[in-house]
Every structure is written in structure tokens, then in C-alpha cells.
Amino acid sequence: MTEHLIVVGLGFGDEGKGAVVDALCAQAPTTAVVRFNGGAQAAHNVVAEGRHHTFSQYGSGTLTGVPTHLSKHVLVEPIALATETRELTDLGVPDPLSLLTVHEDALLTTPLHITANRAREDARGTNRHGSCGKGIGETVWYSLLTGHTPGDTVEHQRVLGTPGEAPTVGDCLRPTTLRRKLDTLARFYEPLIGTGTPVDDLIHLYKSFADAVRIVNDDHFHTLADTGRLIFEGAQGVLLDETHGFHPHTTWSTTTPRNARTLLAGRPARVIGVTRTYHTRHGAGPFPTEDNTLPHPELHNDSGTYQGSWRTGHFDAVLFHHALTHARLDALAVTHRDTPATHYATAYRSGATRTTTLPTHDRTHFLTTCTPELEPFPHDWFERQGIPIAVEGHGPDRTSYTVRT
């Protein structure tokens, strides 16, 4: 039976998952890359054969000709998808949409969600959560409101209007249903963002989207899984997980392998966790080892309007082992080997207490007040962890990656 691969990030995102997926697709035949969490906020950089692309909704195997399946756990944003399709066409990928299938139950992210997301993040001022401003959390939150009424509080946000059913990709095939859901969505968000979003334009756009992509059901995924090797490409990292991350600076998404394993329904799979040789963070949130004086150039990441600044710090063994606990790896992928770490955090001090593990409660507060203990980083530290290293990256290009059998 085919053994599938699940690729997850072990940090705050930006670990190099895209380059790892690209290298794996180039190394052996792959039936499809399956996205199993997140949405259009993903930014996975691949450099290969003189081409560079930042993958958002397409899988990072696209430059090798591997199809993408957006599963029911992905949030789909058709406007951003159209832009990415044009970019891939300009890079020489023939008919990118022919490589794409989308599950009918995937939630639809609309301009209404995006505008509401940005309005909430702007209102937080200096207490920003670090949102990407792509409507991810808002899309998930609205989908949780069935049965709630104005005045209720759901996931720490007050319900201001009367919610309806969340729009899905499958609704793009049913204009009457889609219009009903979008009209309700627009009325719901009026207290927060006002009026002005033309629902008629969205109906026309989403009909064109439905005409252009192949919208599928569960049977399609099961056929893929039983045909050949799938690579599941995770978005963001375990340290941002909605359950195991550090609130409120988390994503509205499951970043562990859980969704992928649910889709596989018992089919065998190996989990590969991706880490840099040092830690990074994009936007707000605790970062104990942050040190922006580190000489680590970043070619393809920069500060974002809503996410905030690009941050760099020493490798953190405490956070690394926290991620391992929830990812349950079979192998590691270590990127940025060409930028070796000089020091790493082996423990934290909080007052007179020294600890090598995170507390059970108030973890966010703890991480913002603790002091990391830094020691010289052994060059063979990853090899000592008792986890096989399946992939190594020594630079940004595919030729800089080594895949071990």
C-alpha cells in the first residue's frame, strides 16, 4: 500500500515547507499535493529552474507538474486564486487550472470576510493579533455561528447581526443558494463594515470560478489516495495552531497533521516536520529568543501591512520540543543549513525558576516574561534528536535540497 507524506511546519510558519514539498515532488512520482488547512494566507516560496513563485493556494509541487487538491479543510479565495493562476501562467505553467481540483465543502472566503478581518485588526491598535488580513479567521468564525443570535459571544467576538449558513465552493454551482448566503452575509457585516460590497458582482465572479475549476466530492480524494503517493502540504506552523499555539496570536486553523490523517482514514502516512536552523516569526506574538541583529538575510519574506514585521531569533529547543509533542513526527526536514545557528535556547528562566518545558496554563504570558538561557549550538544538534532527517536545504534553490530515501 502507498505510504503518503504529511509535511508540517514546526515553528511560527515560514520554515520552508514549500521548498521541501517541491523537492519531494521532484524526487519521486507524486499523484497530487493536498492542501489540508489554512487558506490564501499561505506564502510558500519555491525557486527552481530559474523560476520563483510564492505559492498561496496552489500546491508547491506545481512547477514539477504535480496537480493540487484543495480539500474540504481549506478556505478558498477565488479572487486571489485567479491572480495566482495568472502568475503561474506567466512563469510558463501551461493551463494551471487544469492541475487544480477543489472540494465542494471548502469554505469560501469573500471580500466581506477580508474587510471585516482588517477592520477588527485595525481596531486592536497596539494589541494586534498578527493577522495576515486575508479573512481567514473571519471565514472560520462566521461558519461557527449557526444557531446564534445578535448579542451572543462566540470565540471572544460579539455577534452583531443575524448570521446565516456559510458560503462554500459548491455553492458557486448553485447561484440561487449562493445569492441567498451572500445577501445574508452582507447584511450580517453591515454593523462592522457598512454597505458597499456589490453582491451581484460577486455572483458573476464566482460563477466564472465554478466554470473554470473542477469542483469535486469525497470520491475524488479517495481515488487520489488509492492511486499513488500524495504529499499533504501544511500551512503555517504548529506554534500557531488554534489549539496548541499561544492565544490570541494563533491561526483559526489546525496546523498539526490531524486534518490530513482524518482525510486519509487510516491509510499509512509518514509525517515530516520542517524547521529552520534558527527561529523566525512574522507579526505580533511572543518570541523569547528574538534577536534582530542576527545576520540572516531573507530573500523572499518581508514585513506585511497586517502581519507586521519580519522577526528573527535564535533556535529555541523548548519551543521545538513543544511542537514535536503535537506533530508526532516520523522524520525531519532541516532548511537553511547554509545559515548555521550560533546559539540556541536550552531552557527558560522565570524569576528563580528554571524550566525546559512550557507551563500548562498562561503560556502566552509566560513566553512574554521569561528569559531564555542561550548556549552555543552544536553543529550536529539535529542529528542527536533521534529523528531521521529526510530532507536538508542548503539554499533557496531546488538544487540546494537533498532528499534522503
Q: Which three cell numbers stand for residue 79?
A: 479572487
Sequence-distant (≥ 6) Cβ neighbours of residue 181 within 8 angstroms: 164, 165, 166, 167, 171
**Active-site residue 52, yes or no?**
no
Is 236 annotated among the ligand-binding residues? Answer: yes
- State yes or no: is 14 an active-site residue: yes
Q: Is 386 annotated as a binding residue?
A: no
The answer on whether 251 is annotated among ligand-binding residues is yes
Q: Which three cell numbers stand for residue 91?
A: 512563469
Residue 17 marked ligand-binding: yes
**180 among annotated binding-site residues:** no
158: annotated binding-site residue? yes
Give dist(CA 35, CA 29) in Å, integer. Answer: 18
338 is in an annotated binding site: yes
**Which of 4, 22, 44, 282 is an active site residue?**
44
Q: Is 128 annotated as a binding residue?
A: no
Partners of 90 in beta bridges: none
- Tell which residue, 288, 292, 312, has the closest CA to residue 374: 288
- Confirm or deny that 16 is annotated as ligand binding: yes
**Ramachandran area for residue 151 (φ above 0: left; ψ -120 to 50: alpha; else beta):** left
Q: If we measure between CA atoms, which residue out of 3, 6, 7, 23 comes closest to residue 15?
A: 7
336 assigned to a ligand binding site: yes
Q: Phi/psi at 294 (nearest 5 deg)?
A: -65, 135
CA–CA gap between residue 19 and residue 22 (Å, rounded): 5
281 is in an annotated binding site: no
The whole-angstrom separation of Cα 403 and Cα 30 is 14
Catalytic residue from among 4, 14, 22, 241: 14
Pick out the residues of the known binding site.
13-19, 158, 236, 251, 336-338
Pick out the residues of the known binding site for IMP.
14-17, 158, 236, 251
Pick out the residues of the known binding site for Mg(2+).
14
Pick out the residues of the known binding site for GTP.
13-19, 336-338
For the annotated catalytic residues, the residue numbers are 14, 44
